[in-house]
Amino acid sequence: MSENSIIRLPGIAILAMVMVSLVGCALPAMTERTESVSLPIQQTEDTRLGRAIAPALAEHGDNSGILTLADPFDAFAARVLLAEGADASLDVQYYIWRYDTSGRLLLNALYRAAERGVRVRLLLDDNGISGMDEPLAALDVHPNIEVRLFNPFPTRSAKWLGYLGDFSRLNHRMHNKSFTADNQAAIIGGRNIADEYFGAGYGALFADLDILAIGPIVDELSNDFDRYWASASAYPAELLLPEMGLEELITLMRSAQALEQSPEAAEYVRSVADSTFMTALLKGELRFTWAPVSMVSDDPAKALGESDGDDLMSRQLARALGEPTSSVDLVSPYFIPGKPGLALFRELESKGVEVRVLTNSLEANDVALVHAGYAKYRKPLLEAGVELFELRKLDEGKSVERGLQTGLSGSSSSSLHAKTFAVDGDTLFVGSFNFDPRSTHLNTELGFIIEDRELAAMLETLFEERLASVAYEVVLDDDGDLQWIERNGDEVIRHSHDPEAGAFKRGMVFVFSLLPIEGLL
């Protein structure tokens, strides 16, 4: 043993002891936790939302009303206005909530609702709330607001250390996303709460899709929220976060209110002020698509590795969708079919079912490690007959119409984040589920299955009319090698490797693809 090794041993030992003490911290016992459930529909029928929705519900029976929210600023405004329109309750569940412009404005919307007497229940996955401990602790002080953290880390700083001592638990996350007002109207879909999901901020701007729902499906969603709220993984914030008082809450809200006057919040504030969403909703003038809608959702016990395999959302989806007979159009930002998925697509293609997939290109993907898990399946998928498209990263100044119907694309530097697929041109899925091992086996997920040809046709339009201008078509050349076809008007460019990705990035993806980590992606 060298002298240097002898000198360094005590330091290493001390560091190891500190790390063990940090990761060894146990979660606090939940000896006391308030019990609450979603308000019965009968109890909220006399709210503004209840009264506005009642005539349409009476006309459409067991069907639910669906409105797509593809435009990011519409999606932001709809959440704020639902919070403003709530009279009785708000049940809010998210994987990521950032303390940025949109996140702070939405926290203020929840606070204003609570000030009017609305009961607010906020359930957040603890992995996606970096920098939010003090704001959430302050918000939790309000008598009408209760915050719970799902599958929390026992240490609040350097959370990653928790993985060293409890990886099997902490590797499971709550990926569900929902926003429900008065058990009468709800928003679900792919968006988290952060600037990049609402068309602002820097870096990737996530082209995404949410839906607003009214009708029977909302009560089903509220019941699902209740089982997550009461699950063994949902910890009251007060057990984990620093102690705050009314003074800190007032300071927090004054800061959020001042933010509304700032330049960085201008477009958000304008989107709310200009929106006719709530006025139209309360007047019964919104054009909903009425259809049978069913919910698929993982048991929250999945986060503890305790759910029944038959109850996994992936199997619920398979049972609900049955056997496709003509087409499957799939949009997934993180697409890793795995061997079972590859076998499924091969079987579908062998039966004459057309399978088309849109995912992120390497240049647009915000998680290169996940792209490595996908890249090795491109050739087998194409050989099976699957049509494969990869969204391009759009340059500043390129004009792309907003909305799912016109390309599922946001503004500059867009990255696909929507999770949706259509089966046989008559059934549409929208939710949080990515077609990858993490969504299948590790994270909890949520989504709606909508039986409507008009909505399913949006994806058909996307693939048939819009992808040429915003996505590469991936094909095999005569030698069986991958090619990426880029179309810019009448110009056609063929690339022999991942376009707009340097040799180093491509090399890293190749190295990552050799690692035995697919089950974690």
Token readout for 497 is 């490797």
**What is the Cα Rg of the chain in Å?**
24
DSSP secondary structure string for all residues of 372-430: HHHHTTHHHHHHHT-EEEEEPPPPTT-----SGGGTS--STTEEE---EEEETTTEEEE
Token readout for 165 is 């001592």
Token readout for 175 is 């990926």
Rounded to an integer, what distance in angstroms lies between the CA atom of residue 152 and that of residue 241? Answer: 11
Identify the sign of the CA torsion 90, 94, 99, 102: negative
Token readout for 69 is 């929210």
Token readout for 22 is 């940090």
Q: Phi and psi of 66, rounded to 5°?
A: -125, 135
**Nearest to residue 421, comparing CAs of 340, 356, 341?**
356
Q: Is 376 a catalytic residue?
A: no
Q: Is 177 a catalytic residue?
A: yes
Rounded to an integer, what distance in angstroms lies between the CA atom of residue 253 and that of residue 185? Answer: 26
**Rounded to the nearest 10 degrees, what angle do helices 101-115 and 246-259 cross at?**
120
Determine which one of 172, 371, 393, 419 is catalytic: 419
Cβ(415)–Cβ(364) below 8 Å: yes
Rounded to an integer, what distance in angstroms lies between the CA atom of residue 83 and that of residue 102? Answer: 14
In whole angstroms, what separates CA 399 from the centre of its chain? 25
Determine which one of 182, 210, 298, 498 is catalytic: 182
Determine which one of 87, 172, 417, 498 is catalytic: 417
Q: Is 172 a catalytic residue?
A: no
Cβ(438)–Cβ(127) below 8 Å: no
Q: Is 283 a catalytic residue?
A: no
**Nearest to residue 68, comparing CAs of 405, 451, 410, 433?**
405
Q: Can you tell me whether residue 119 is helix, strand or coil?
A: strand
Determine which one of 87, 126, 133, 177 is catalytic: 177
Strands 234-236 and 89-94: unpaired
**Nearest to residue 72, comparing CAs of 202, 218, 203, 192?**
192
**Rounded to the nearest 10 degrees, what angle do helices 503-513 and 368-375 cross at?**
60
**Nearest to residue 327, comparing CAs of 386, 390, 389, 388?**
386
Q: Is 133 a catalytic residue?
A: no
Cβ(404)–Cβ(428) below 8 Å: no
Cβ(63)–Cβ(215) below 8 Å: yes
**Helices assigned H by DSSP within 154-215:** 161-170
Determine which one of 175, 302, 371, 393 is catalytic: 175
Token readout for 188 is 């679900």
Q: Is 298 a catalytic residue?
A: no
Rounded to an integer, what distance in angstroms lies between the CA atom of residue 400 and that of residue 464? Answer: 16
Determine which one of 100, 226, 424, 452 is catalytic: 424
Identify the sign of the CA torsion 131, 132, 135, 141: negative
Residues acting as catalytic residues: 175, 177, 182, 417, 419, 424
